[in-house]
Amino acid sequence: MTLDRPSISSQIAQFLPMPQDSSSQTVHEPKKALKYNRELSWKIASSLATSFRYAWGGLSYAFETQRNFRIHTVIGTLAIGLGLFLQLKPVEISVIGVTIGIVLAMELLNTAIESVVDLTVGQSYHELAKIAKDCGAGAVLVSAMAAIIVGAALLLPPLWAVVQIAIAGQ
């Protein structure tokens, strides 16, 4: 039985990034995205190591290209460092760590949503694309606000006590 349609692999091939001269890029195309060679990333990972390599590639991409991901990483590192300095209980540091992980995971999901939407609509405007991107950004905002509440509840009381001791000691 023959099919008159092209094969799936030939349909997928038309979506693979082709090497381009950097001068042909438009203003809206991320330049760093072109350096990642992911032609076979649509295939199922052949090993656990390959899966981890793809995951690390996603983290690296987000860290290199997404300003907010870097900001959340720095703030999260500072929060953990402050928790250790204030000698919080391990469970409190764990809660802060899990909260940071949720914010970073939301940033990664938001980046993925934005990339898929951009792939789909290209340079054109579509109201549903706007809604998808805005909702992804909203999810990051909600998780970041929750992280601020958790951080304030766990870090401010012992920090205030340290400040009061420092003031009384002068």
Q: Which residues are the active-site residues?
A: 107
Sign of CA dihedral 25, 30, 31, 36: negative
What does DSSP assign to residue 135? H
Cβ contact 90:98 at 8 Å: no
Tokens representing 87 are 């000698």
Q: From the centroid of its chain, how far is CA 67?
A: 10
Residue in the block written with tokens 């038309």: 14
Tokens representing 65 are 């290209």
